[in-house]
Chains A and B, each alone.
Chain A
Amino acid sequence: MNEQLARDLERDIASDPRTNELGIRLQVRGERLVVSGEVASEERRATVLEVVREHDTGLEIVDHIMLSAEPGPGGPDHEQIDPPQRS
């Protein structure tokens, strides 16, 4: 039952137009509902938690969502790609 609740919530977070987050994972641990995964901004984290709270699961929500690292300069990190050896 707990597993089903978690999967249902994951599906709702993926399909809810406010979130559309496909990388959020939920786990029920005792009386706690752990929300994990990665989002790109604080605003998106808050919206995911808002959608979870709306489901009124009676469980304590534990926020383990991580914020994506803000991109740094990509310039210096070059990789050389050599041509494939073709006969």
Chain B
Amino acid sequence: MPDPIRVAAVGDVHLADDLRGRYAPLLEGISGEADALLVAGDLTQHGTVEEAKAFADEFDAADVPVLVVLGNHDYHSGADRDIARLLTDRGVTVLEGTSTTIETDAGRLGVAGVKGFCLGFHGRCAADFGEPEMKAFTGHGIETAGVLRRALDDLAGEEPDVTVALSHFAPVDDTLIGEPKEIWPFLGNYRLGEAIDETGVDLAVHGHAHAGREKGLTPAGVPVRNVAQPVIQAAFRVYDVVPRRSA
């Protein structure tokens, strides 16, 4: 069997000055374990540029490419664009409806990323009906799934050996078990899962659900992993994804 592409992932690190020093020592030498490090949003606690600097300083210790999506916390102070710019300047790849590929010894890794948004899941989701505010809420949830789908379609043209979908909001409800059911529509969006199922994804990685569980599947059977730090209780998890060509 050919070597797998090793994908490290974590989410919801919620960095601020009080957590400086928590991640850097654990990320040094990560290239011995992984080919890339994905961070599934909520990089910061209050969404400030200062906190983004703390994130950049901590994750600068990783000696592999670092790819992130932003989370809802990263939008809270209205500085999401400044945060994205700072991270980009610091060598972090920020994905929002975009994708990238990384050449590894085991093949080409492709990652498409989007923050995502609320919506809910089959039978228990927001509907595009009624007040303009409700339509806007629902429409944004649907639109983010469309954005992910387009990014994955574009990525397919690059013919990656392994394709990973990275989001902050959950694409399935399997990984929300443990969270109160009443808030599931605010934690995930089944349309993200549909986009994943229709675009040849090998692994989907998300965060946001701190009290959820790590492992789930999309309706079509694509593995989904909730890597929120309170769930995995580690600096990162590593998924050894076997390239499709070996199947």
Contact = CB atoms under 8 A, between A and B. Distances in A.
Given A75-B33, A81-B242, A41 B19 contact: yes
Nearest to A38: B230
A75 B10 CA distance: 12
B223 interface: yes
Chain B interface bracket (under 10, 10 to 19, 20 to 34, 35 or more): 35 or more
A85 B242 CA distance: 12
Contact of B233 (A69, A80, A82): A69
Interface residues of A, number: 27
Contact of A83 (B6, B8, B22, B247): B247
B202 A71 contact: no
Given A23-B211, A41-B18, A71-B23, A81 B234 contact: no
B190 interface: no
A68 B232 CA distance: 11
B130 interface: no
A58 interface: no
A83 B14 contact: no
B229 A68 contact: yes
A85 B211 CA distance: 31
Interface in B1-54: 4, 6, 8, 10, 14, 18-19, 22-23, 26, 30, 32-34, 45-46
Given A20-B76, A23-B211, A71-B229, 11 more contacts: A20-B45, A23-B210, A68-B230, A74-B33, A74-B232, A74-B235, A74-B236, A78-B239, A79-B239, A81-B202, A86-B247
Interface of A: 17, 20, 23, 38, 40-41, 43-44, 68-86
11 contacts: A23-B211, A40-B19, A41-B18, A70-B22, A71-B22, A75-B34, A75-B238, A78-B240, A83-B202, A83-B242, A85-B247
Interface of B: 4, 6, 8, 10, 14, 18-19, 22-23, 26, 30, 32-34, 45-46, 73, 76, 202-203, 210-211, 220-223, 229-230, 232-244, 246-247
